[in-house]
Amino acid sequence: MNNKLKIHLLVNETAGNGHAKSVFEEITALLINNNINFDTRTSDYAGEAIRIAQDYGNRPHSSNEILLVIGGDGSLNEVLNGIKRSSNPATPIAYLPAGTGNDFGRAANLTADPKILLDRLKGGVKPDQIDCGSFVFPDINKDKKYYFANSFGVGFDAFVNHNSNISKLKKLLNRFNEGKLIYGYNVLASVTRQDTFSVDIETNKRKFHFDDAFLVTTTNHPYLGGGLPLLPSAKIDSHRIDTVVVEKFGLKKLVKLFINLLKDGSHVYDPQFHYFEAKKITVKTRQKEYAQVDGEEIKRNTFNVEFSVSCFNLLR
Ligand SMILES: Nc1ncnc2c1ncn2[C@@H]1O[C@H](COP(=O)(O)OP(=O)(O)OP(=O)(O)O)[C@@H](O)[C@H]1O
């Protein structure tokens, strides 16, 4: 038995339509073959990984112990929130992306191969400090902080996310590993149905107002919806967050912007595309819109959100 390393697996077996379960089985076999000490917790319901991770962070651990999360972006979000709210928010997290979108894994250049990750962990990697977003709802409780690894979106991306999550096609296409296809399909299907809304942005004491926003997304890195590079310049270690505002446009322009986004990132130069980069950004909306945090829907009529940049320790 390798006494040096002890791995605590935290698994959402439902992530990636069961892909996380097969990754879990693969790594379990590797751990047994390598004589590495491990234990396992699986989340039984949405939200449970927050509590499991918070309990883990509250307990003392030696430097040989590693918390390894297996799941998608939503599972990572829960673990991040649990660890950051624990008495030891610097507890390192190792993560095997095994969801549908895996945007964080893409942005942080993570391997999805259990064997490669295990070899690195056996070699004794040091944690990297990685940015994450944090936010509060000051109207409700300015002391209760929430965290995100990817993004917090109001409007179009959240509407697409909502439609993708409820779509009957999603399960079918996910089976063929085509989650991106369903997201692309829903972008086109949702564009004419998304209304516009007014938004106020405040950053570095400067204020901006948009009457006809279509999408307002605060992001920690470039990607959205399973690999779409919404803001290629956003970096995961810039110690800044970015808020993107896109104003309303028609279907023809959407197609053009979408092609530019996929081709060379030149969509960011469009006059209806705006972005703000800072350590702190406030976003206020005044009408009911869909919203998402790391791909999970949040329900609220209007939004007054104070964002700031935070960080966590990642083993990769
Ligand atoms: N046992 C469970 N049953 C149902 N839902 C669960 C369970 N455990 C966790 N969850 C929820 O499943 C949600 C979706 O999981 P996750 O985001 O990790 O996978 P995904 O949606 O397939 O991947 P991605 O977000 O990368 O597209 C999580 O936000 C979590 O709250």
Q: Which residue's CA is minimally distant from atom 1 of ligand 1?
A: 44
Can you give the pLDDT at residue 177?
56
Contact 20, 69 (CB under 8 A): no
- Ligand 1: distance of its center to the CA of 255 in Å? 30
Q: What mean pLDDT value characterizes the chain?
A: 92
What is the tens place of the pLDDT at every residue in 15-67?
Answer: 998 999 999 999 999 999 999 999 999 999 999 999 999 999 999 999 999 99
Can you give the pLDDT at residue 178?
58
Interface ipTM > 0.85 = yes
Tokens of 98: 């095994």
For the chain, which residues make up each domain, given as ranges?
A: 2-126, 133-315
Q: Which residues of the chain have pLDDT under 70?
A: 1-3, 167-182
| Cβ–ligand 1 contact at 74 (below 6 Å) | yes
Count each helix (H run) and each strand (E run) in the chain, helices first: 9, 17
Ligand 1 atom at minimum distance from 72 CA:
18
- Give the Cα separation of 231 and 267 in Å (integer): 9
| Cβ–ligand 1 contact at 114 (below 6 Å) | no
| Cβ–ligand 1 contact at 71 (below 6 Å) | yes
pTM of the full structure: 0.93
Tokens of 114: 């259990």
Can you give the pLDDT at residue 2?
45
Can you give the pLDDT at residue 174?
60
Tally of CB atoms within 10 A around 104: 29
- Give the Cα separation of 110 and 299 in Å (integer): 31
Can you give the pLDDT at residue 1?
45
- Fold classification of 133-315 is Tumour Suppressor Smad4 (2.60.200)
- The 10 Å CB-count burial string (b at 16+, else e) for 50-74 is bebbbebbeeeeeeebbbbbbbbbb
Ligand 1 atom at minimum distance from 174 CA:
22
| Cβ–ligand 1 contact at 102 (below 6 Å) | yes
Can you give the pLDDT at residue 3?
54
Q: Do 2-126 and 133-315 come out as alike in CATH topology?
A: no
Can you give the pLDDT at residue 162?
87
Can you give the pLDDT at residue 251?
79
The residue to mutate among 17, 43, 50, having the most atoms of ligand 1 within 8 angstroms of its beta carbon, is 43
**Residue 29, amino acid:** A
Residue of 150, 36, 169 lying closest to 97 (CA atoms): 150
SS3 state at 256: helix
The residue to mutate among 19, 22, 75, 166, having the most atoms of ligand 1 within 8 angstroms of its beta carbon, is 75
Handedness of CA 231, 237, 240, 241 (dihedral sign): positive
Angle, CA of 86, 280 and 306, to the nearest 5°? 70
Strands (E), the chain: 2-11, 36-42, 65-71, 93-97, 128-137, 141-148, 151-155, 197-203, 206-219, 223-224, 228-229, 241-247, 273-278, 280-285, 291-293, 296-298, 303-315
**CATH code for the structural domain at 2-126:** 3.40.50.10330
